[in-house]
Structure 1
Amino acid sequence: MVVGDISTGTDVLVIGAGPGGYVAAIRAGQLDLDVTLVEKDAYGGTCLNYGCIPSKAMITASDLAHEAGHAEEMGIYADPEVEMDEMVGWKDGVVDQLTGGVEKLAKANGVELMEGRAEFADEKKARIVHSGGGQGSETVEFEHAIVSTGSRPIQVPGFDFGDDPVLDSRQALALDEVPESLVIVGAGYIGMELAGVFAKLGTDVTVVEMLDSVLPGYEDDLARPVKKKAEELDIDFHFGEAASEWEESGDGITVRTEDEEGTVSEFGAEKVLVAVGREPVTDTLELDNAGVETDEDGFIPTDDRARTNVEHIHAIGDVAGEPMLAHVASKEGQVAAEVIAGEPSALDYQAVPAAVFTDPEIGTVGMTEAEAEEEGFEPVVGKFPFNASGRALTTGHADGFVRIVADEPSGFLLGAQIVGPEASELIAELGLAIEMGATLEDVAATIHTHPTLSEAVMEAAENALGHAIHTLNR
């Protein structure tokens, strides 16, 4: 304990108030535990303040502006004028409403909120360092701890986020003017989502990617409609190239890339956005003092009860590794709190959905056909294209499909993949079906409202059974 410290105690110390941490704190409070929630930046974490929520707000706004200006085939002629600072102000209002709600909910559930950066002193004690001159620090003794410090953008050597034209996703979402041109390094989900936002707002967008396609990790037929739509927005792609350096050039910058053969290319732009992935924030925690182990990449290994190698210290969310998804962090937070309270709770990753909010959207859950075969199942696949969906056609968005993977002998659903309108919403039904142990017959026999996009789910199940009505059967 340093000079000036004060000491307090708590049943559960939660470090980080993102979608994992604040959920864990609230659930622990509901279970009558004494809880202290520490946050060094903003309640709601990266997701609510700088990632999930602001990016989806900007996606919605840019989609609206773009569609209003490109609806001639519907007999609508318009030329929207975008005031970027006002759009960002609206986005910030959404964020403020949600983060304010987090604070109120935490307090209403008896959670003590504490601002500062936490670092472990030993396996039962942490020091909270408060920001600002003269703010000092305090020591918190705990019975249990939950680490939920999240992740941060990975920096590319030579591209310092502190340099004005070099942006991370947080900075890109806070711009008060639409850049005339933008180079995006990375064609993963963050890069592709923001490429769509800025292209629809009128920015000349160039995407460079080390690998050979967009959205690495997703099946080719899911990524293909996204790439096609991006090209229709005049987004320029360069694959097999790594960003190497940048320099000021005239009114903007020049970004240099290099391929495997050493060939150098140059791209001029006003700004460059680096979106090559995220890394865990574990280096500030002094984990060694508590005996908590990390892997070679800084992630904290955990078991199915979110416990680290130190049984009374849990880790949830991005710091615990893949899948690095906000909703997974929330579930892990609930489980950690329940385990601490002595409840029979454990994690099950069988039916974890994932979504990419590109145009069109992608939603996945469970196994692909190839993964099902690798696991020893005999997969049967049903598919339904959105261009055969009456509702999709009436929205003007009919690219993509719903695909369902099931075990043929038993009929049990194993997985699903959707690319198309509202894929992020539609995937929930199939996640529930997998979680409940539903069969193809169950989904096909469920009457779906007409005309809706969700009918495509029913038709995909019927297609796997060989009796779809509105598409040719396999």
Structure 2
Amino acid sequence: MANKPIELAVIGSGPGGYKVAVSAAHLGARVTLIEKGLPGGTCLNQGCVPKKTLLYLAALIEDVNALNGQGLEGQVRGNFSAALSHKDKVVEGIRDNFPVWLRRLGVRVLKGEAAFLDERRIQVEGEDAQILSPDRIVIATGAVPREHPACPADGVHILNSQDFMFRLRHLPRSVLCLGGGAIGTELGFLLHQFGSRVTMVEQAERLLDKPNIPARASALLERKFRRLGVEVRKGLTVTAARIEGGEVEVTLS
């Protein structure tokens, strides 16, 4: 008699969740994937995919303009509104096919919010409401941006990285990027390439201040920012912020 397939429930359809779901389905498990938000999680909707789409365009602007006078003539200018529309189309195209792709691989997809009734039972609340009793459960619910206590995001004037991808529809004249890690420097670069005046503020003494990133890489990035005209302020953070006349006034120390 054949062994009964393991029933697996995966909560969250981001990279962690869908990779587990697909791998388990390939191994013969009966998989149910539960997602309360947009299919694909943060990476597809607010992170990697939309950001890399915009970064590709920003890098093209830099590369083409660097060839001015070397066989090419003229300067390329970015159109931020058109770039956002392009980004939305790329994301929507992947997202619309995401559940279809999972179902073809044998993964059942439920739309709703998962809540534990006990250690073995899950109640799905929402569009596909039901109670599940799987053999195994994987929680892959991801994370949200951490709020800065001195300048919490309001979704209009002060944006976190998720707000940037969902709510920003017009290019700001000037931007302060608080945090010189990978996300902050990428967003700062692409905004500059499309025409914003950008200031990077990093609490540490160098950008990309991570143990696995050598100091020479940080120095190279800082030289590039200086060449482009991006202001870099290190060893500082925001201690106060207030919105006045549609602009944000910050205090650094």
- Whether these two folds match at TM > 0.5 is yes
Matched residues in 1 for 2:63 and 2:18: separation? 36
Matched, 1:167 2:159: yes
- Structure 1 stretches of 4+ with a deviation exceeding 4 A read none
Q: How does 1:10-21 map to 2 (within 5 A)?
A: 11-21=7-17
CA drift of 1:73 comes to 4.3
The equivalent of 1:128 in structure 2 is 124
Change (3 A) 1:243 1:222: same
Q: Which of structures 1 and 2 has the larger relative contact order (alpha carbons within 8 angstroms, sep 6+)? A: 2
Matched residues in 1 for 2:22 and 2:113: separation? 20
Residue type at the aligned position of 2:24: A
Q: How does 1:219-298 map to 2 (within 5 A)?
A: 219-258=214-253
Matched, 1:215 2:208: yes
Matched residues in 1 for 2:150 and 2:128: separation? 35
Q: 1:152 aligns with which of 141, 144, 147?
A: 144
- Structure 2 counterpart SS, 1:72: coil
How many residues are treated as equivalent by the alignment? 245
Residue type at the aligned position of 2:102: A
Gaps of 5+ in 1: 1-9, 259-474
User: Contact between 2:145 and 2:162, CA under 8 Å: does it hold in 1?
Assistant: no
User: Contact between 2:68 and 2:75, CA under 8 Å: does it hold in 1?
Assistant: no
- Give the structure-1-normalised TM-score: 0.49
CA drift of 1:66 comes to 3.1
User: Contact between 2:174 and 2:197, CA under 8 Å: does it hold in 1?
Assistant: yes
Q: Which has the larger radius of gyration?
A: 1
- Structure 2 counterpart SS, 1:82: coil
User: Contact between 2:157 and 2:246, CA under 8 Å: does it hold in 1?
Assistant: no
Q: Which moved more, 1:79-88 or 1:14-23?
A: 79-88
User: Contact between 1:22 and 1:102, CA under 8 Å: does it hold in 2?
Assistant: no
User: Contact between 2:225 and 2:232, CA under 8 Å: does it hold in 1?
Assistant: no
Matched residues in 2 for 1:136 and 1:113: separation? 9
User: Contact between 1:15 and 1:37, CA under 8 Å: does it hold in 2?
Assistant: yes
Matched, 1:26 2:52: no
The equivalent of 2:63 in structure 1 is 67
Task: Encode CA deviations 1:72-111: one digit per residue, 9 max, x unaligned.
Answer: 2424222334332221111112112222332122101221
Gaps of 5+ in 2: 1-5
Matched, 1:76 2:72: yes
Q: 1:110 aligns with which of 106, 112, 127?
A: 106
Task: Encode CA deviations 1:381-438: one digit per residue, 9 max, x unaligned.
Answer: xxxxxxxxxxxxxxxxxxxxxxxxxxxxxxxxxxxxxxxxxxxxxxxxxxxxxxxxxx
Matched residues in 1 for 2:251 and 2:181: separation? 20
Matched, 1:58 2:58: no
Q: Which moved more, 1:10-19 or 1:170-179?
A: 170-179
Task: Encode CA deviations 1:126-173: one digit per residue, 9 max, x unaligned.
Answer: 12222xxxx694321111011111111111014232341011112223
Matched, 1:180 2:176: no
User: Contact between 2:80 and 2:171, CA under 8 Å: does it hold in 1?
Assistant: yes
Residue type at the aligned position of 1:252: E
Residue type at the aligned position of 2:112: G
User: Contact between 1:88 and 1:176, CA under 8 Å: does it hold in 2?
Assistant: yes
User: Contact between 2:9 and 2:31, CA under 8 Å: does it hold in 1?
Assistant: yes
Identical positions, percent: 27
Residue type at the aligned position of 1:201: F
- Structure 2 counterpart SS, 1:80: coil
CA drift of 1:203 comes to 0.9
